[in-house]
Amino acid sequence: MNRIYKITIAVLFLTAINVQAQELQTNISVHDPVIIKQDSLYYIFCTGMGINDWSSKDMVHWKHEKPVFAEAPHWAFNVVPGFDNDIWAPDISYYNGLYYLYYAVSAFGKNTSAIGVATNTTLHTDDPNYKWVDHGKVIQSIPGKNNWNAIDPNLITDDAGKPYLAFGSFWEGLKMVRLQKNRLKVAQSTTSLPTIATRKKVDGQAKNPADNPVDAGDNAIEAAFIFHKNNYYYLFASIDYCCRGINSTYKMIVGRAEKVEGPYVDEAGTPMAQGGGTLLLQGDKNWYGVGHNAVFTDQNTDYLVFHGYDAADGGKPKLRIEKLSWNAAGWPVVASQ
């Protein structure tokens, strides 16, 4: 066997190993994951450069697909000066033949933020029709003007199919805005949006960020996700602090309402808009913090999809998927607990 032939075989062999490794990752690092299924493939979209995209046949072995945006959406530079295409907390849904991907652009620690939306007819990257069409900004928050933060979007529809967007982080807490039927623009004034959840107690323990419009305050709540099951809308949220590695204290809470606009209350009957929220899952010796969840149903089984800060890997954020069950009173319970 000549030297050139040997080198060629070695290159092909290493390439095959690399491709196989890409397709067989089981301990993937993600932040703010959301999941959806098209045909026999599961897709995760999560925070990352251009929005990270992973696919899987079994929710165990994952392939890293190309990012949604090879280049940053042009409008984002007008919202966040110097924007580097690091896009946060996407939310994926399907409606009327299109996949809708909401996403956030922001300056960390400020409410210099906006939520955008892109659509696609397919999520299969090998489909000739695969193409994300960006529709630009849906809603924006501006320091000194808005006392809320336009990040962490989640789409939910009411019983009549009317679309709403839940969102928010710190400041006044989690907000909700009604969308137009096409789901691309807001359908109401954003001057005074209702707060659906906050960590501010009735006695006003948390610092009011209105005292300083560029200060997020102590209202550590974000990552709204609303899931409709039986006769209730369940509002999941993450409280305390993400993004600090081994010092992360993220944990998940939940409340529910009979109507999508609320009011959402916890198991004790305390409104989430007054600091309520039933603890669902928190960190332990293996995971420093857990949060920013989505809920996904596949073949009549509900799953909680989220990231945790792995104690065995220096606090690196990792994908976790746990079965979600429901107790006799209709409240969610993580099956592994």
> For 196-244, how does the pLDDT look when each residue is reduced to its tens digit (9 = 90+)?
999 987 554 444 433 333 345 689 999 999 999 999 999 999 999 999 9
Calculate what percentage of the chain has a pLDDT beyond 90.
Answer: 84
> For 283-321, how does the pLDDT look when each residue is reduced to its tens digit (9 = 90+)?
999 999 999 999 999 999 999 999 999 999 999 999 999
Q: How many CA atoms lie within 13 A of 78 on its CB side?
A: 8
pLDDT recorded at residue 200:
84
pTM above 0.85, yes or no: yes
pLDDT recorded at residue 25:
86
> For 70-88, how does the pLDDT look when each residue is reduced to its tens digit (9 = 90+)?
999 999 999 999 999 999 9
| Radius of gyration in angstroms for the set of CA atoms belonging to the chain, rounded to a whole number | 21
Q: What is the mean pLDDT of the chain?
A: 90
Handedness of CA 147, 108, 295, 278 (dihedral sign): negative
**Edge-first strand listing for the sheet containing 287-298:** 287-298, 301-310, 316-326, 332-334
Positions marked catalytic: 32, 222
SS (H, E, C) 225-290: EEEEECCEEEEEEEECCCCCHHHCCCEEEEEEECCCCCCCECCCCCEHHHCCCEEEEECCCCEEEE
pLDDT recorded at residue 238:
98
Strand partners, 203: none
User: What are φ and ψ of residue 175, in 5° steps?
Assistant: -120, 170
The strand pair at 62-65 and 287-298 is best described as: unpaired
Cα 136 vs. chain centroid, distance in angstroms?
A: 19
Residue 305 · residue 321 · CB < 8 Å:
yes
Strand partners, 53: 45, 65
> For 123-164, how does the pLDDT look when each residue is reduced to its tens digit (9 = 90+)?
999 999 999 999 999 999 999 999 999 999 999 999 999 999
Look-up of token digits 């004034």: 189
